[in-house]
A and B are shown apart, each in its own frame.
Chain A
Amino acid sequence: MSEEVELPQEYLTFLLGGEEYAIDILKVQEIRSYGSVTPIAQAPNFIKGVINLRGSVIPVIDLRIRFGLGTVEYTEFTVMIVLSLGARMVGIVVDGVSDVAQVRPSEVRPAPEFSRAVDVRYIDGLAMQEARMLILVDIERLMLSADMALVDETLGESCANQ
């Protein structure tokens, strides 16, 4: 056991195609039900459109479509996680939000290089907690990357490189 006191970090975990992903809870603005989405013409199919979040117009991405996972259906139980990434906000649709997990740095293992829905570039590591394995995602880098088509290209590159 380490003598230093390890401060656990809080992560929000969600399900995506049978795997459990975890994102820094400080990047989460709120969780709300899916609805009132205005589609954007000629946008990629995983960009569902924009919503009105208290006067701001923010885009919504369905990660299930983006990564080809899970069952893509919209019911009254479909939720989206609204992320706050610097000045930007974006909503993501996932299979389901599970809970808030406490992860100690000592529990984090480097992610092995094998094929998974989310590219290993955006994965900070794997956290082993008893029976379950959490995949820690650097959600900010992932969302602002060119893959997500969320930002204008030049801007997207500079943000992704930060």
Chain B
Amino acid sequence: MSFDMSQFYSVFFAEAGEHLDSMETILLDLDLANPDTEQLNAIFRAAHSIKGSAATFGFHDMADLTHVLENLLDRIRKGEMRLRTEIVDTILDARDVLTGQLAGHRDAAPVNVAAAQLITQRLEQWIAAGNAPSVPAMDAVGLSVSFILDGLESSWTKVIEAVCTELASLGTVSIAAAPVLPDQPWVLHLQGAPDEAAVRDVLEFVARDGTVEIAAQSALTLSPSANDDAYGLFEPLDVLADDDAYGFFAPLPEPPLSDETYGFFEPLPVSADVPPDNRPAVRQTNTVAHAEDTIRVGVGKVDTMINQVGELIITQAMLIEAARDLDPVAYERLHTGLQQLERNSRALQESVLSVRMLPIANVFNRFPRVVRDLAAKLGKQVALRISGEATELDRGLIERIVDPLTHLIRNSIDHGIEMPLARAAAGKPAEGTITLKALQQGGTIVIIVGDDGAGLDRARIVAKASERGMAVTESMTDAEVWNLIFEPGFSTADAVTDVSGRGVGMDVVKRNITAMGGRVDIESLAGVGTRMTVRLPLTLAILDGMSVGVGSHTYILPLAYITESLQPATHMVKQMGGVASLLQVRDSYVPIVMLHALFGIDAAVTVPEQGIMVLIEADGQQAALFVDALVGQQQVVIKSIEAHYRRVPGIAGATIMGDGQVAFILDAVALVQRAHAGLPAAA
């Protein structure tokens, strides 16, 4: 039974992805005039690691491309070539092609082969263009063999493979030229000291009579590019050719400065004693950006752990409940033990939940590239300032926030930041600034995308909106006007660009963020800039809630929506059509939702003065929820009810209480909407 490598693929995909990301991060950070040797080494190591594992797993297209890339990087880090913006661009493009190849292998999707060939050529051009004192000299003299194949064109690939395999016993073989037309010759290069007659013997039966030409060749004419060209064409030879070429072009694969790397991350005296060759493989994943030791675990395992810990806490609560009636003196040890258990299991729950949290740097890291590329495309000068990237967010949200944030940033560069001349005319620095900031406020993560551009144009938005047939008035507040850009089909761009001018997107951004339980707000000042603030819940798994009692039922109200709660006096409740429908809070009126009436619960408090009004706010609107009593505040683990049942109006989810009972979590946003929608009809 053959050894199945595919089980390790996911590890390769994740690791290679990380290497590609760190390559990009470092490349964008490079000081071209005076590049940091350590950074150059880190990029080289990233390429080297990808090459090694790609070859191991049989992803030869990636191995081949990284091989050429590695050659270029090696020359650069040894100071044999000077870095230029164009070279960085080429390397970045190569990194993108690799990302595409990686995605292709991961999703079993077709890969753009032409792009790989093109980028390989570009990389080779740079290698060739570098003043080349170090083009490796090799003693061995080779042969250049040219011949025209007999037989059908469709069979050539197989024939050439066979020929190469045969010739490999005579020396290292590489394909220098493949025919485009049937009558053009194949040119093979043979390194080593092959016997001419032996070569003719191999070709005798496949080549057309009289077309075999063999010429001696010096090492210098065996150009590296010719060698590498072969890779894209003939995969079966890769491993062999790759290995040879590797020793040929990069005689010193271990960076001489690797000890410094070591010292950089682990300033321990021990590191000096470790010879570079013995560096554990995992060290290579440590770039400047990732200094932590990590393990990779499937999300399913973590979620199972979270569920099990939830179960443990419920069991623990049941034990405490059961032991409540026992005499504290006689059962002192039991009570002490139970208290200990409660503390330990809470701590365990927190730790387990924190496993799902990832720093938002995982999202932010990709934006320097987005900004750089887009600014260059639009001819604008834009700097990106990132802060708070260590802020942690649930991994489920991390994945889903990428697209909306990308869109907001592209929008800021495209519509917000002005052209350099316009900025200079407005007395601003030619370089615009995009600020990207994350911070935690209680149970909410706040992400701010700001720019110092022209700001939103109120008059133009209003004009465009009325042109689109939206209901607009001049008396709308700025906030209401800004919110128009989240309407489907709205776009203020004068010209439709392929960047963000199609008017699709902002509505999708808003919808996606709302779907995550978050919201987005815009602030803008003409001439000063625009600030988009995205607020997201800290995690999808737990929630800070207030449990409220209605009749015999208990509901959980998310704490984030509660502004205050109060026991209403008779004069504060205004009746409409005999139903308590408005609550006077200071100088405003808030619609009331009688929870017992909405949910059809009997035996609940119905007289407003005997219950509690909980004021909630969502989407800038308020409502007062009428309940019997506030039971207590607690963190709850959110469970889906749709997994086994279906959506329930007014209910966002469910949780399991300390006694093992299910309690429903109220959907505050829907309740507020309902309260306002019901206002005119309630009379």
Known: A36-B660, A52-B661, A52-B662. A41 touches B639 (CB 8 A): no
B643 touches A87 (CB 8 A): yes
In the bound complex, CA of A41 to CA of B641 (Å) = 13
- Chain A nearest CB from B310 CB (Å) reads 6
**For the complex, is B640 an interface residue (Cβ under 8 Å from A)?**
yes
Q: Does B663 contact A (CB under 8 A)?
A: yes
Q: How far is the CA of A87 from the CA of B643 in the complex (A)?
A: 8
Asked if residues B641 and A57 are in contact (CB atoms below 8 Å), the reply is: yes
User: Binary interface profile of A, 30-51, with partner B (CB < 8 Å = 1, else 0)?
Assistant: 0000001011111100000111
Please give me the residue from chain A that is nearest to B650 by CB atom: A41
CB distance A59 to B311 under 8 Å? Answer: no
Q: How far is the CA of A51 from the CA of B648 in the complex (A)?
A: 15
Report whether A50 and B662 are in contact in the complex, using a CB–CB cutoff of 8 Å. Answer: yes
C-alpha gap A51/B314 in the complex (Å) = 14
Q: Which stretch of B158-166, B322-330, B593-601 is in the interface?
A: B593-601
Chain A 106-148 interface mask (CB, 8 Å, partner B; 1/0): 0000000000000000000000000000000000000000000
Judging by beta carbons under 8 Å apart, are A57 and B654 in contact? yes
Pick the residue among B600, B644, B647, B651 that contacts A59 (CB under 8 A): B644
Any A CB within 8 A of the CB of B117 = no
Beta-carbon contact of A57 and B310 below 8 Å: no
Report if B649 contacts A (CB, 8 A).
yes
Flag whether A58 is at the interface (Cβ < 8 A): yes
Say how far B604's CB is from chain A's closest CB, in angstroms: 12
B307 an interface residue at 8 Å Cβ cutoff? yes
**In the complex the two chains form, what is the Cα distance from A151 to B647 in whole Å?**
8
Query: Given A42, A54, A56, A152, which contacts B646 in the complex, CB threshold below 8 Å?
Result: A152
Q: Bound complex: CA of A147 vs CA of B384, how far in Å?
A: 57
CB pair B646–A55 under 8 Å, yes or no, is no
Chain A residues, CB < 8 A from B664: 38, 40-41
- Contact (A54, B661) CB under 8 Å given A40-B648, A59-B644: no
Binary contact track B597-625/A, C-beta < 8 Å → 1, others 0: 01111000000000000000000000000
Residues of B within 8 A of A38 (CB): 553, 654, 661-664
Of all chain A residues, the one with the shortest Cβ separation from B647 is: A152
Closest approach, in angstroms, between the C-beta of B603 and any C-beta of chain A? 12
Contact B311 A55 (CB under 8 A): yes
Q: List A residues 61-94 near B (Cβ within 8 Å).
A: 87-90
Chain A residues in 8 Å Cβ range of B601: 41
Whether A150 is near chain B, meaning CB under 8 Å from some CB there, is yes
Specify which of B648, B650, B656 is in contact with A52 (CB 8 Å cutoff): B656
Cα of A152 to Cα of B648 in the assembled complex, Å? 10
Any A CB within 8 A of the CB of B213: no
Q: Count A/B pairs, Cβ under 8 Å.
A: 75
Interface magnitude class on chain A: 20 to 34
B254 within 8 A of A: no
| Contact in complex: A54, B311 (CB < 8 Å) | yes
Question: Is B321 positioned at the interface, with any CB of A under 8 Å from its CB?
Answer: no
A48 to chain B minimum Cβ distance, whole angstroms, is 12
Report the minimum CB–CB distance from A64 to chain B (whole Å): 20
Contacts of B646 in A (CB 8 A): 149-152, 155
* B642 sits at the interface (CB 8 A): yes
Q: Is B205 located at the chain interface by the 8 A CB criterion?
A: no
The answer to whether A41 and B640 have CB atoms under 8 Å apart is no
Question: Are A88 and B644 in contact (CB-based, < 8 A)?
Answer: yes
B645 at the interface (CB under 8 A from A): yes
A50 adjacent to B651 (CB under 8 Å) = no
Docked-complex contact A55 and B600, CB < 8 angstroms: no
Our pick among B311, B598, B649, B654 for the contact of A50 (Cβ within 8 Å) is B654
Q: A52-B660, A55-B656, A56-B644 are in contact. Are A42 and B311 (CB under 8 A)?
A: no
* Chain B nearest Cβ from A65, distance in angstroms: 17
What's the Cα separation between A152 and B643 when bound, in Å?
11
In contact, B648 and A56 (Cβ under 8 angstroms): no
Taken together as a complex, chains A and B put the C-alpha atoms of A125 and B308 apart, in Å, by 42
What does the 1/0 interface line of B658-673 toward A look like (CB < 8 Å)?
A: 0011111000000000
Task: Knowing A41-B598, A42-B600, A52-B656, say if A36 contacts B643 (CB, 8 Å).
Answer: no
Q: Are B599 and A41 in contact (CB under 8 A)?
A: yes
Contact B648 A41 (CB under 8 A): yes
In the complex, the answer to whether A89 meets B662 with C-beta atoms within 8 Å is no
- Chain B hits for A155, CB < 8 A: 646
Shortest Cβ distance from A160 into chain B, in angstroms? 14
Contacts of B650 in A (CB 8 A): 41
Nearest B residue to A37 via CB reads B662
Closest to B311 in A: A55
Report how far A90 CA is from B641 CA in the complex, Å.
Answer: 12
Q: Which residues of B contact A41 (CB under 8 A)?
A: 598-601, 648, 650-651, 664
Q: Considering the chains assembled together, what is the distance between the CA atoms of A39 and B650 in angstroms?
A: 14
* A41–B553 alpha-carbon span in the complex (Å): 10
Contact of B639 among A42, A49, A55, A150 (CB under 8 A): A55
Inter-chain pairs besides A40-B664, A41-B651, 15 sampled, C-beta below 8 Å: A38-B662, A41-B599, A41-B601, A41-B648, A41-B650, A41-B664, A42-B648, A50-B654, A52-B314, A52-B656, A57-B640, A57-B654, A88-B643, A88-B644, A151-B645
Q: Would you list 17 pairs from A and B whose C-beta atoms are within 8 A, ordered by A residue?
A: A36-B660, A36-B662, A38-B654, A38-B664, A41-B599, A42-B600, A50-B645, A51-B662, A52-B656, A52-B661, A55-B639, A57-B639, A57-B645, A57-B654, A57-B662, A149-B646, A151-B645
9 A-B pairs with least C-beta separation? A41-B599, A38-B662, A59-B645, A58-B644, A152-B646, A57-B654, A52-B656, A57-B639, A55-B307
